[in-house]
Amino acid sequence: MYNSKITGLGYYVPDNVVKNDDLKEFMETSDEWIQERTGIKERRWIDPKSGDTTAVMGAKASRIAIERAGLTKDDIDFIVFATLSPDMYFPGGGVQIQEMLEMPTIGALDVRNQCSGFIYAMSVADQFIKTGMYKNILVIGAENHSGGLEKSTRGRNVSVIFGDGAGAAVLSRSEEAGKGILSSHLHSEGKHAKELALIGPSTKRWVPEIIEANDPDDVSYYPYMNGQFVFKHAIGRFSEAIVEGLEANKLQKEDIDMLIPHQANLRIAQFIQKKFQLSDDKVYNNIMKYGNTTAASVIIALTEAWEKGKIKDNDLVVLAAFGSGFTWGSVIIRW
């Protein structure tokens, strides 16, 4: 069986920086209030005039990752695209990437696992490579949250958190033993699905019904989050996923060289860091700059950490995420 190894990384975020104080234009809030609860200082929101979309950002990040892998678009055998905010209800963003990058008629798979999307996407790509089906797979996480947030005082508990951006990785076949992705671990608990969800429009209640109801209090088409409930579960599931990955590879917490957690809330990341007794140089956070970019957050953070030289050859890198579904998981990598 082959191993799969990350050979290229790239990310893209919109130029438009939205600081906490800028949000006062839409809602009652303050920089202090947001930082105290989330750790976020600013985020990137797409300028509608820029032409950026979820797929466009994914394509921009992908071009960087493919070039850094020393490959061309024609070397990519398959696409896995993770997002909760596709440009269209259907088809998904994967086929848009295939068209935008002018790739051959390779397969394209979309993953809808929200904050855990990139972890799930990496796991899927890893299996395709390990079984020998594909040699080079493009894995993307991209989100356009700003187009669907309730930018008002009523919606501030959610809208201050999320940002836009995309990241991409090229996963390639390797025969080097003990290097690359060592294992991935995926979980879900659907009984809590509505604690972090966007209920509609859906095929249960489509757009004409919502318009016809004309209910000003209907917020089903905006994201909803039971913040405290999600926070409590995230802390427990993050820890479980990390421990599971370490135990599967007969490793200890002391073996971790870099933890890249999903950028959901800085307080969650700090709690996990303290629990695993990791020093500041062994955990990478960038939620302060970008907010929560959901499926893009882990790959953007991983790329930034690598670009800054914080990840070196033979380092043990742990990726972990928790989010809507509930879904959670981890990926253990020997760099």
Residue-by-residue pLDDT tens, the chain, 335 positions: 799 999 999 999 999 999 999 999 989 999 999 999 999 999 999 999 999 999 999 999 999 999 999 999 999 999 999 999 999 989 999 999 999 999 999 999 999 999 999 999 999 999 999 999 999 999 999 999 999 898 999 988 999 999 999 999 999 999 988 999 999 999 999 999 888 888 877 776 666 676 666 677 666 667 777 878 888 898 899 999 999 999 999 999 999 999 999 999 999 999 999 999 999 999 999 999 999 999 999 999 999 999 999 999 999 999 999 999 899 999 999 99
Nearest to 163 by CA among 58, 50, 22, 42: 42
pLDDT of res. 210: 67
pLDDT of res. 165: 98
Q: How far apart are alpha carbons 50 and 63 in whole angstroms?
A: 18
- CATH class, domain 181-334, is alpha beta
pLDDT tens column, 47-90 = 999 999 999 999 999 999 999 999 999 999 999 999 999 999 89
pLDDT of res. 301: 98
Q: How far apart are alpha carbons 229 and 44 in whole angstroms?
A: 26
Nearest to 163 by CA among 55, 266, 10, 18: 18
Take residue 86 and report the two structure tokens written for it: 């596709």
Instruction: Pinpoint the alpha helices (H) of 249-330.
Output: 266-275, 287-290, 297-307
- CATH code: domain 3-177 is 3.40.47.10
The structure's pTM equals: 0.94
Take residue 74 and report the two structure tokens written for it: 């024609």
pLDDT of res. 230: 86
pLDDT of res. 155: 86
pLDDT of res. 60: 98
The Cα angle at residue 267 between residues 260 and 25, in degrees rounded to 5: 105
**Burial class of residue 299 in the structure, from the number of CB atoms within 10 Å of its CB (0-12 exposed, 13-18 middle, 19+ buried):** buried
pLDDT tens column, 22-42 = 999 989 999 999 999 999 999
What are the catalytic residues? 115, 262, 292
Q: Which residue spans of the chain are classified as CATH 3.40.47.10?
A: 3-177, 181-334
Residue whose pair of structure tokens reads 């996407």 in the numeric block: 121
Q: How far apart are alpha carbons 183 and 248 in whole angstroms?
A: 8
Sheet holding 180-188, edge to edge: 180-188, 327-334, 316-323, 258-261
pLDDT of res. 24: 94
State whether residue 78 is helix, strand or coil. Answer: strand
